[in-house]
Amino acid sequence: MEETVALLVRAMLSKGSLQVSSTGFLLIGIFIYWRLPRNRSDRSARGLFRYLVPAALYGHRSAKIDYWILPLTIASAFLVSASGLVAQFFVSNSIQAPLSGILGVRTAIVENSRGTIALQFLILFLAADLMQYVQHYLFHKIPLFWRLHRAHHSAEVLTPVTRWRFHPLETIIEAIITGPGSGILSGFLLYVCGMKATGAAMTLVVATRLALQVTYYFRHSHVWISYGTVLSHFFYSPCMHLIHHSALPHHRDKNLGSLLSVWDYLFGTLYVPRHREEFLLGLSVDEVHDRNPHPNVFALLIEPLVTAARLVTAARTAGRLPSADPSRHPSQNGR
Ligand SMILES: [Zn+2]
Ligand SMILES: [Zn+2]
């Protein structure tokens, strides 16, 4: 079983997963370009390239920061994903014995082997997706965490590379929250169903997540893809993440999900656009262009730490935990 998990981790970390997602992005991009009515008169390789890689976006100052930070964050992001899955698997199974000792041994509610794997897959997948939502929610709502997560939201244009624009400290904290968190949650649910996580179920979870990686590319691109109003209440469509990156106040803290949007629906953070919306991207309308606190890679790495330290110092001086987020009140911003 451990060998299966090790194999899966290698699959997630391999260059192959990147190639599959990139190819998927290209093929879907070609399909969309071909179907756009306005491109019918200019269906050429040049037109396609201009559509998929617009110079104004890919040459933008914000995109250049993404390219510089990529080598630093891509490795940690892949490691976090892989270690999160391993942690989920092992934590999930290691709490079975203590749970059985305290609450008693349970018999499996499904005997059929296919049904067992399907149920395990569902539990592992849902638990991981819910914890992704929870960690993203915490990074938006806890002032100290938000200082780090601002590095992702200070992007003013989105390209697939923005997907890896994170402060390195955020990826570490994310790993600590999501892996063990989803392990405890799925472990408890599996215990209730009288079963443990198997390598086969984990294989399915990893394969599904790898297959859906391509949607993350479109979430960070100028291509607007919506699943429609009804489906978007269940599945997180790429355009919903564009809304998440909006600088406008009414889009703030919306669409925090990962692959499913049901969590946003249940916890009141869902925003499903009914039609294509045009908006400014960035931290807020007061923190874009010349006032962007992250004009270069150095600022993106250091500013979150400096402002987080100021928050802690201010809280200590006031004798209480930080409760206000300076970025939500630009006049008090300590940048
Ligand atoms: Zn966010
Ligand atoms: Zn994003």
C-alpha of residue 105 to centroid of ligand 1, in Å:
41
pLDDT at 68: 92
Q: Which ligand is nearest to the CA of 132?
A: 1
C-alpha of residue 101 to centroid of ligand 1, in Å:
40
Residue 97 φ/ψ, nearest 5 degrees: -65, -50
Average pLDDT (33-40) is 69
Domain-embedded: residue 195: yes
C-alpha of residue 199 to centroid of ligand 1, in Å:
32
Domain-embedded: residue 163: yes
Q: Which pair of tokens denotes residue 222?
A: 């100028």
What is the chain's Cα-based Rg? 21
Label residue 77 by pLDDT band (50, 70, 90): confident
C-alpha of residue 202 to centroid of ligand 2, in Å:
26
Structural domain for 74, as ranges: 2-213
Label residue 128 by pLDDT band (50, 70, 90): very high
pLDDT at 106: 86
Domain-embedded: residue 182: yes
Nearest to 166 by CA among 273, 319, 304: 304
Q: Which ligand is nearest to the CA of 141?
A: 1
C-alpha of residue 149 to centroid of ligand 1, in Å:
7
Domain-embedded: residue 92: yes
Q: Which ligand is nearest to the CA of 135?
A: 1
pLDDT at 90: 87
Domain-embedded: residue 289: no
Label residue 53 by pLDDT band (50, 70, 90): confident
Q: Which ligand is nearest to the CA of 241?
A: 2
Is the CB of residue 268 less than 8 Å from the CB of residue 258?
A: no
For 178-214, what is each residue's pLDDT tens digit? 989 999 999 999 999 999 888 888 888 888 888 888 8
Is the CB of residue 124 less than 8 Å from the CB of residue 88?
A: yes
Is the CB of residue 183 less than 8 Å from the CB of residue 202?
A: no
Residue with tokens 């925003």: 271
Domain-embedded: residue 301: no
C-alpha of residue 244 to centroid of ligand 1, in Å:
7
Mean pLDDT, all residues of the chain = 86
- 18 pLDDT higher than 80: no
Rounded to an integer, what distance in angstroms lies between the CA atom of residue 269 and that of residue 259? 15
Contacts of 120 (CB under 8 A, 6+ apart): 190, 195, 197, 198, 200, 201
Nearest to 156 by CA among 274, 234, 66: 66
pLDDT at 298: 95
C-alpha of residue 49 to centroid of ligand 1, in Å:
29
C-alpha of residue 193 to centroid of ligand 1, in Å:
34
For 175-184, what is each residue's pLDDT tens digit? 889 989 999 9
Q: SS3 of 95, please?
A: coil
C-alpha of residue 237 to centroid of ligand 1, in Å:
15
Rounded to an integer, what distance in angstroms lies between the CA atom of residue 12 and that of residue 165? 19
Q: Which pair of tokens denotes residue 186?
A: 């799925």
| Identity of the residue numbered 113 | S
Domain count, the chain: 1
Is the CB of residue 85 less than 8 Å from the CB of residue 128?
A: yes
Average pLDDT (290-299) is 95
C-alpha of residue 245 to centroid of ligand 1, in Å:
7
Average pLDDT (133-159) is 96
C-alpha of residue 245 to centroid of ligand 2, in Å:
6
Q: How far is CA 241 from the centre of its chain?
A: 9
Contacts of 92 (CB under 8 A, 6+ apart): 124, 182, 183, 184, 186, 187, 190, 196, 197
Domain-embedded: residue 57: yes
Q: Which ligand is nearest to the CA of 242?
A: 2
Q: Which of 136-145, 218-227, 233-242 has the lowest mean pLDDT?
A: 218-227
Q: Which pair of tokens denotes residue 282?
A: 């960035």
Domain-embedded: residue 258: no
> pTM of this prediction?
0.86
